[in-house]
Chains A and B, each alone.
Chain A
Amino acid sequence: MSALLRLAGASLLARRRTTGLMLLALTLSCALLFGVEKLRSELRTSAYAAVGAVDLIVGARTAPEQLLLATVFHYGALSTPVPRAVETELAAHPAVRFAIPLSLGDSVAGLPVVGTIPAYFAHLGTPSKGPLAFQAGGPFASEEEAVLGAEAARRLGKGLGDALTLSHGLGAQSFLEHGDHPLRVVGILAPTGTPLDQRILVSLEALHAAHEGLGVGGEEGEDNISALLLGLSPRAAALGLAAQLNRSQDPPLTAALPALTLAGLLRWLGAGEAVLQVLSAFVVAVALAGMLAMMLASLEQRRREMAVLRALGAGFPTLLFLLLAEALILTGAALALGLGLVHGGLALAAPALQSATGLTLQGLGPTAGEGLLALGALALAALAGLLPAWLAARRALMDGLSPQS
């Protein structure tokens, strides 16, 4: 058995040029298959990690998806503010463990500035739900202080004690500079792999002061916030509280269950993912068809090899095994190489992905999904290899000792 496998391997090596090309095609297609699967599952995990300990997101009446995207992923804006009285009211609710106000809409060099309260750091740890970890310094304590996410600190090139000025409105080229209100960096968060890494966190008062200085306060007075993040105990209270809040008319509110809303969004994305998955499976099938063509084409030049093996006592099952082993060795090697390519490539691409989406790919180890894909590809390879194997073994039986060469 192992001697036969070595024989198959030696024969493959002897044809290293065609074998190499075939291996390349198979490897690239397997990498595509694994890459799509990896991105799909990793982006899901990261997206759920970004929600973290938040059980309910409350804002002015809008779509729950918009509320989630604006507060967790900094995508889109919330136009209608919520009176701070709502925070006071909800904080007093018996099921509410914490209520963290958020004031959104500002940015520094394209990085979102979030106004909030120091309790944010105590409650919004992700994903272990402990307090947020700092790599340097600690929470802000006054309106002159700011905390930077890990990526924000890196991109701004700021460290503890450095000064920071705020601008109004999201976007890299903000033209209104709040020059009069420089803040001091007092803390830098440890990387979390979520959009939090890109945030600049300041006190609600600091944001308000900045707006007043420019006269752009508008509705976002000191008594208004953009949204509230709630942690509940028991967590099951979220459903009832959400229903209650969604009915409220004074002021009209929306309460979004982040995990549920996210699941809905991802399900919607799922259709696109399915297309990608089917496409990448097709690419693998095409590569396997190429392998089949290569094996069929090589039968002619391998007639002598087959005749020698036949003469030495190799029967149909032995030849079948040899040729099938060839297909499986090739596919197995391609799967291993493809997996290595994806994991190596993602490790290299992770920083770019992090700055583009704020999501960090966490578990870069092989997953059960990939194992299933690999098994599927091997089964397909065995099926594809069976035809040339059968034909070659069959032809070897038909040839005598002197195949016409």
Chain B
Amino acid sequence: MAAGAQASSEGPTRALVHCEGLSFRWPGAEAPTLQHLNLTLHAGEAVLLRGESGQGKSTFLSLLAGILAPSSGSLTVAGHDFHALGQRQRDRVRGADIGVIFQQFNLLPFLSILDNLLLPIRFSTERQARLHALGASPEKAAEALLSALGLSLRALGNRSVGALSVGQQQRVAAARALLGGPRLILADEPTSALDPKNRDAFLRALKDAQTARGAALLCVSHDPALEPFFDRTVTLAALQGDTP
């Protein structure tokens, strides 16, 4: 894919995500799930990742989030060499700089909307500091983000998270991932439960929040209708076929 080759030619230094020859094998699996994967992602870029079911898209996002460690190859995220970092440091980088949105299990049902939103702030001093530098209290920032995504915290009140519609839950989860200014947003099929109208609204809001911050967005989806919202679309197969 041309876009991938062009990005990697600009070198890893300016890139937010850069991986080369990345391979991963689940413990106990006979064949590696991902093999020789190359991808470069720049700040402000929004990329759609497609691939067959079970091919390893979610696994790839886990690697980028630092939840899993690569078996071989190089992986740099937000200036950190994830291959060299220990689990604990990768957790810190994720807490500070990576926002994860996923479709299947987004919110903790036993916490209120606001408590759900504020969870990443509690785990990361960097996010706290960034909000503080903006002069916003976490609660105010959360409220502003939600209204940017078309939800009013006041209107939702202290309704339990379980009492929200799936679309509302996804937007709360997106706000949670964006709160505290992460530089990389990873979204795993965030719109699979939305009708076309809500899906488009959600994507517009997500894109707005991303471009406003100059963050990079990598979004996994099976839905070809999403392509217009993104700068480029890549498939997992192509990323692995690409030899630099």
Contacts and interface: CB of A to CB of B under 8 A. Distances in A.
B110 A400 contact: no
Please report whether the interface of chain A is mostly helix, strand, loop or mixed according to DSSP.
Answer: helix
Contacts of A304: 104-105
A13 B110 contact: yes
Contacts of B58: 400-402
Nearest to A399: B67
B100 A311 contact: yes
A272 interface: no
A402 B188 contact: yes
Given A10-B111, A311-B100, A318 B67 contact: no
B106 A315 contact: no
Given A312-B176, A315-B92, A10 B67 contact: no
Contacts of A275: none
Interface of B: 27, 58-59, 61-62, 65, 67-68, 87-88, 91-92, 94-96, 98, 100, 102, 104-111, 115, 119-120, 122-124, 176, 188
Nearest to A319: B91
B88 A315 contact: yes
A308 interface: yes
17 contacts: A3-B122, A7-B111, A7-B119, A10-B110, A14-B109, A309-B108, A309-B119, A311-B94, A311-B100, A313-B92, A313-B96, A313-B98, A316-B88, A317-B88, A318-B123, A400-B62, A401-B61
A149 B67 CA distance: 76
Counting contact residues on chain A (CB < 8 A from B), the size range is 20 to 34
Contacts of A14: 109-110
Interface string A295-327: 000000000110111111111111000000000
A305 B104 CA distance: 11
A88 interface: no
Contacts of A397: 67, 87
Most buried by B among A3, A4, A314, A402: A402
A16 to B, nearest CB: 10
In the A-B complex, list the 10 residue pairs whose CB atoms are closest, starting with the nearest.
Answer: A313-B95, A14-B110, A315-B91, A400-B62, A304-B105, A402-B58, A313-B123, A311-B100, A312-B120, A3-B122
Interface in A193-250: none
